[in-house]
């Protein structure tokens, strides 16, 4: 009867904060984590003290604390999004080459990134729309995508036009090849890997309804 088992865990699709909460809950205690700019930053609001997570920011810091407010704002202490932040006890500073060695050297456990598209084999497209008049800007996206042990993506499953962002092959310029391990969306969580794409759980819809929306063969988690 396992094929009949529902993997729907929420009656409604998840909002941005609920999704951030879910990602936060899935981060293994003690991990070193880099949260990308935008939606992934929300994850930090839901990490608990018991999880003992150390946040990395690629502009040269481990042990980053919450956003700085009022008198705590210091122009010399910012995150990768150039937002003033705070330091936690046990924080450390290092130069840019060391900071990216932390990623490239495989020392980071998880990075959480936004995406335009993710492919069936875990290719990531999140840095450039490819529009001819757009000024390309890559920042640390390619380094993060290839460096962290696990790359989690947070995105809505569908574009505004209703097309799936989980695709057979990315049509936007790639950020990294075969790097994404999990995709958290408002409608479902997908696990990507060499064996294809598995749906771990669904929100506000059934596995079959997700399969209708996503144009590639999906497996249902046991």
Is residue 18 part of the annotated active site? The answer reads: no
Shorter beta-carbon distance to other proteins: residue 136 or 215: 136
Give the interface segment with other proteins, choosing from 3-11, 19-27, 134-142, 192-200 (CB under 8 A).
Answer: 134-142
State which of positions 47-66 bind other proteins (CB under 8 A): 57-61
Give the interface segment with other proteins, choosing from 20-28, 47-55, 171-179, 180-188 (CB under 8 A).
Answer: 171-179
DSSP-assigned letters across all residues of 83-133: -BEEEEEEEEE--HHHHHHHHHTT---EEEEE-SEEETT--EE-S----TT
Q: Are 114 and 42 in contact (CB under 8 A)?
A: no
**Measured between alpha carbons, how far is 185 from 95 in angstroms, rounded to an integer?**
34
Decide: is 76 part of the binding site for other proteins (CB under 8 A).
yes
**Measured between alpha carbons, how far is 119 from 75 in angstroms, rounded to an integer?**
39
| CB contact set of 6 (below 8 Å; sequence gap of 6+) | 206, 207
CB of 206 vs other proteins, minimal distance in Å = 35
Shorter beta-carbon distance to other proteins: residue 68 or 191: 68
Shorter beta-carbon distance to other proteins: residue 1 or 134: 134
SS3 26: helix
Where in the sequence numbering do the catalytic residues fall? 58
Instruction: List residues binding other proteins (CB under 8 A).
Output: 57-61, 71, 73-78, 82, 84, 87, 93-97, 99-101, 103-104, 123, 128, 133-143, 146-147, 173-177
């Amino acid at each position: 009867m396992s094929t009949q088992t529902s993997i729907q865990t929420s009656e409604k699709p998840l909002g941005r904060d609920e999704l951030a909460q879910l990602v936060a809950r899935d981060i293994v205690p003690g991990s070193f984590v880099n949260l990308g700019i935008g939606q992934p930053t929300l994850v930090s609001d839901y990490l608990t003290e018991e999880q003992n997570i150390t946040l990395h920011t690629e502009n040269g810091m481990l042990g980053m604390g919450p956003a700085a407010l009022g008198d705590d704002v210091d122009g010399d202490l910012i995150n990768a999004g150039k937002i003033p932040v705070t330091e936690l006890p046990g924080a450390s500073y290092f130069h840019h080459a060391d900071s990216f060695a932390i990623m490239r050297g495989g020392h980071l456990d998880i990075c959480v990134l936004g995406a335009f598209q993710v492919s069936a084999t875990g290719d990531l497209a999140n840095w450039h729309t490819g529009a001819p008049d757009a000024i390309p800007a890559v920042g640390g996206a390619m380094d993060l995508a290839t460096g962290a042990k696990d790359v989690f993506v947070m995105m809505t499953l569908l574009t505004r036009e209703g097309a799936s962002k989980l695709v057979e092959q990315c049509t936007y310029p790639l950020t990294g090849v075969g790097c994404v391990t999990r995709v958290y969306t408002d409608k479902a969580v997908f696990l990507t890997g060499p064996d294809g794409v598995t749906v771990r759980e669904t929100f506000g819809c059934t596995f079959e309804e997700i399969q209708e929306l996503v144009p590639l063969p999906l497996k249902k988690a046991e």
